[in-house]
Structure 1
Amino acid sequence: MRIKMLALLLLALPMAAFAQTSTPVGSWTTIDDDTGKAKSVVEIYETRDGSLAGRVVDVLQSDQGENPVCNKCKGDRKGQPVEGMVIMWGLERDGDSWEGGKILDPANGKEYSVKVTPSTDGSKLEVRGFMGFSLLGRTQTWMRQ
């Protein structure tokens, strides 16, 4: 009986590890669409209400140089440093994806609806920002740190 329980436990461990890597929670390197270079590091985390949010923890490349600010943002974000800024919020799980939230592009100050889908192995995150319908948008691939 002990051997069977041990075997079941050993079989379940890889499944638990896989389940942890297929979540968007963690640190991600964003890639610039034009240059293909790393642009920033975004930390996605679970909020108190169980939804997901993301904040910029490190700006690696910016047209504004060091310590860029969100000049084109509206409201409380206007003129605030991009580093430390929450740029994604309100994502809820829907099957293998998280959606229903918003994402802010600090370069133009615009907010978009967002859907994120981790790759099967958890190493990449497809981030789709769109207005209205998901077909009218743009997808970026972020890399897990």
Structure 2
Amino acid sequence: MKWITTSLFLLFFVAAKAQTCLGVWITIDDKTGKKKSKVELYKKDDKLYGKVIYLYPREGREDNPKCKKCTDDRKDQPLVGLQIVRGLKWDGSEWEDGTIVDPENGKVYTCSIWIDRDDFNKVHVRGYVGPFYRTQTWVKATD
């Protein structure tokens, strides 16, 4: 009986660990389908945050771009290191009620993030403006 209990605990732990949003994720450009950046999602004070840690090279972009269109404390801050996800709370199945900024237009959206149920190497990131939303899929970074 002790062996069964231990086995079930280990299986639950492995499954829970596999389903975490924490870690480094690759963002994909909606228009081109190409890799855009790497974002690290991390917890602080039981809330989820995310910052850009790498930008994939893109023709025509300056070497160290800044968030020129941001209107809050992120204005003119370098994109690498920029906290784009802020203050999401865990509701038992997804992270919600936080914000995400689009550095290209400076707009801040209400945000929710959840693991893909069929592929734990993907998260869905949804930004809302009222009843309207757009969802992106980010892919787990392996390098």
Normalising by structure 2, report the TM-score: 0.90
Which structure 2 residues correspond to residues 5-44 of structure 1 after superposition, within 5 A? 5-44=2-41
- Give RMSD over aligned pairs: 1.4
Report the counterpart of residue 59 of structure 1 in structure 2. 55
Report the counterpart of residue 76 of structure 2 in structure 1. 79
1:125 corresponds to which of 113, 123, 126: 123
Q: Distance in 1 between matches of 2:42 and 2:20?
A: 10
Displacement, 1:11?
3.1
Instruction: Write the deviation string for residues 6-46 of structure 1: whole angstroms up to 9, x where unpaired.
Output: 23212321221110121211110000001111100000100
Task: Judge conservation of contact 1:55–1:87 (CA < 8 Å) in 2.
Answer: yes
Instruction: Write the deviation string for residues 75-98 of structure 1: whole angstroms up to 9, x where unpaired.
Output: 321111000010001101113111
Report the counterpart of residue 68 of structure 1 in structure 2. 65
Q: Distance in 1 between matches of 2:30 and 2:22?
A: 23
User: Which aligned segments of 4 or more residues in structure 1 are displaced greater than 2 angstroms?
Assistant: 61-66
Q: Which 5+ residue runs of structure 2 have no aligned equivalent?
A: none
Aligned residue identity for 1:56:
V
Aligned residue identity for 2:125:
V
Displacement, 1:60?
1.1
Aligned residue identity for 2:130:
G
Percentage of pairs with the same residue: 42
Helix, strand or coil: the match of 1:39? strand
Helix, strand or coil: the match of 1:58? strand
Displacement, 1:5?
1.5
Normalising by structure 1, report the TM-score: 0.89
Helix, strand or coil: the match of 1:11? helix
Task: Judge conservation of contact 1:104–1:110 (CA < 8 Å) in 2.
Answer: yes
